[in-house]
Structure 1
Amino acid sequence: MRTTVGIIGAGPAGLLLARLLHNAGIDSVVLESRDRAYVEHRQRAGILEQGTVDVLRAAGAGERMDREGLRHDGIELRFARTRHRVDFPALTGGRSVMVYAQTEICKDLIALRLEEGGPLLFGAEALAVEGAEGDRPRVPFRYGGREDVLECDYVVGCDGFWGVARKAVPAALSRVFERTYPFAWLGVLADVPPSHDELVYARHDRGFALLSMRPPVTRRHPSEEVAALPIKSFVSRLYLQVPAGTDAQEWGDAEIWDELARRFETADDWTLSRGPITQKSVTPMRSFVHEPMRHGRLFLAGDAAHIVPPTGAKGLNLAVGDVVTFARALTHERRTGSAELLDAYSATCLRRIWQAERFSYDMTAMLHRAPDATGFDDRLQLARLRRIASGRAAETDLAEAYTGFSLD
Structure 2
Amino acid sequence: MQQSTQVAIIGAGPSGLLLGHLLARAGIHNVILERHSAEHVLGRVRAGILERTTVDLLDQAGLAERLHRESLVHDGIYIAFDGQRQHIDLKGLSGHAVVVYGQTEITRDLMSARAAAGLVTHYEASGVALHDFQNGQKPWLSYLRQGKPQELHCDFIAGCDGFHGVARHSVPPDAIRTFERTYPFGWLGVLADTPPVAPELVYAQHPRGFALCSMRSKTRSRCYLQCSLTDSVEQWSDELFWAELRSRLDPVSAAALQPAPSIEKSIAPLRSFVAEPMRFGKLFLAGDAAHIVPPTGAKGLNLAVSDVRYLAEGLIEHFRERSRVGLDHYSARALRRVWRAERFSWAMTRLLHSFPDQGSFDHKLQQAELDYLFSSRAAQTALAENYVGLALDA
TM range (shorter): over 0.9
- d(CA) in 2 for partners of 1:257, 1:245: 20
Q: Any idea what SS the aligned residue of 2:40 has?
A: helix
Change (3 A) 1:117 1:56: farther
Aligned twin of 1:277: 262
CA contact (8 A) 1:14 1:30 kept: yes
Q: Which amino acid counterpart does residue 21 of structure 2 have in structure 1? A: R
Q: Residue 106 of structure 2 corresponds to which residue in structure 1?
A: 105
Mapped contact 2:198–2:256 kept (Cα < 8 A) = no
Per-residue displacement from partner, 1:157-197 (whole Å, max 9, x unpaired)? 00111111002221111111000111000100112111111
Which position in structure 1 is the counterpart of 2:192? 190
- The structure 2 residue matched to 1:11, chosen from 1, 10, 13, is 13
Is the partner of 1:407 in helix, strand or coil? coil
Q: CA deviation at 1:56?
A: 0.7
Assess if the C-alpha contact under 8 Å between 1:200 and 1:212 holds in 2. Answer: yes
Q: What whole-Å deviation, never above 9, does each CA across 1:341-361 have from its counterpart, x for those lacking one? A: 101111110000000000000
Q: Distance in 1 between matches of 2:318 and 2:161?
A: 24
In structure 2, the CA distance between the partners of 1:375 and 1:391, relative to structure 1 (3 Å rule), is: same
Superposed displacement of residue 293, structure 1: 0.6
2:152 alignment partner, one of 150, 153, 177:
150
Q: Shift of residue 242 of structure 1?
A: 0.5
Match of 2:236 in 1: 251
Residue identity in the other structure for 1:387: Y
Aligned to 2:91: 89
| Structure 2: runs of 5 or more not aligned | none
User: C-alpha separation between the residues in 2 aligned to 1:375 and 1:118?
Assistant: 58
**How many Å apart are 1:269 and its aligned residue?**
8.4
For residues 5-404 of structure 1, the aligned pairs below 5 Å read 5-93=7-95, 95-125=96-126, 127-133=128-134, 134-215=136-217, 234-266=219-251, 270-404=255-389
The range that moved more, 324-333 or 334-343, is: 334-343
Distance 1:190 1:82 in 2: 25
Moved more, 326-335 or 145-154: 326-335
Q: Secondary structure at the match of 1:215?
A: coil
Relative distance call for 1:172 and 1:198 in structure 2 (3 A) is same
Q: What CA distance in whole angstroms lies between the structure 1 residues aligned with 2:30 and 2:308?
A: 13
Q: Secondary structure at the match of 2:152?
A: strand
For 2:256 and 2:10, locate their aligned partners in 1 and report how far apart those are by CA, in whole Å: 46
Q: For the Cα contact (< 8 Å) 2:247–2:254, is it kept in 1?
A: no
TM-score (structure 2 length as normaliser)? 0.96
Shift of 1:126: 5.1
Output the amino acid matched with 1:69: S
How far does residue 21 in structure 1 lie from its aligned partner after superposition?
0.4
Q: Which moved more, 1:174-183 or 1:125-134?
A: 125-134
Checking the alignment, whether the CA contact within 8 Å between 2:213 and 2:223 is kept in structure 1 is yes
Confirm or deny: 8 A CA contact 1:302 1:319 kept in the other structure.
yes
SS of match in other structure, 1:125: strand
Q: Secondary structure at the match of 1:198?
A: coil
Distance 2:137 2:29 in 1: 17
Deviation of 1:380 after TM superposition, in Å, equals 1.1
* Cα shift at 1:117: 4.4
Deviation of 1:340 after TM superposition, in Å, equals: 1.1
The alignment partner of 1:258 has SS state of: helix
Q: Does the 8 Å contact 1:8/1:126 carry over to 2?
A: no
- What secondary structure does 2:54 align onto? helix
Amino acid at match of 2:57: V
Superposition deviation, residue 88 in structure 1 = 1.2
The one-letter amino acid of 1:241's match is Q
The whole-number CA distance in structure 2 between the counterparts of 1:345 and 1:119 is 25
Q: For residue 82 of structure 1, report the CA deviation from its aligned partner.
A: 1.1
* RMSD between aligned residues: 1.3
Letter of the structure 2 residue corresponding to residue 325 of structure 1? Y
- Distance (Å, rounded) in 2 between the aligned partners of 1:43 and 1:122: 19
The match for 1:407 is 392
Q: Secondary structure of 2:174's partner?
A: helix
Pick which of 258-267 and 58-67 moved more: 258-267
Identity score, percent: 52
Letter aligned with residue 116 of structure 2: E
Instruction: Tell me if the contact between 2:22 and 2:312 (Cα under 8 Å) persists in the aligned partners.
Output: yes
- Shift of residue 268, structure 1, vs aligned partner: 8.8
TM, length-normalised to structure 1: 0.93
Q: Is the 8 A contact 1:135 1:153 kept in 2?
A: no
Tell me if the contact between 1:45 and 1:102 (Cα under 8 Å) persists in the aligned partners. Answer: yes
- State the AA in 1 paired with 2:110: L
User: 1:50-82: CA deviations, max 9, x gaps?
Assistant: 111111111111010110111111100000011
Measure, in 2, the Cα distance between the counterparts of 1:332 and 1:388.
Answer: 43
- SS of the residue corresponding to residue 58 of structure 2 reads helix
* Matched residue count: 390
Find the aligned partners of 2:252 and 2:140 in 1 and give their Cα distance.
61
Name the CA distance, whole Å, in 1 between partners of 2:252 and 2:5. 61
CA deviation vs aligned residue, 1:98-148 (integer Å, no higher than 9, x gap): 111111111101111011142111112252111012241111111122110
Preserved contact between residue 21 and residue 327 of structure 1 (Cα < 8 Å)? yes
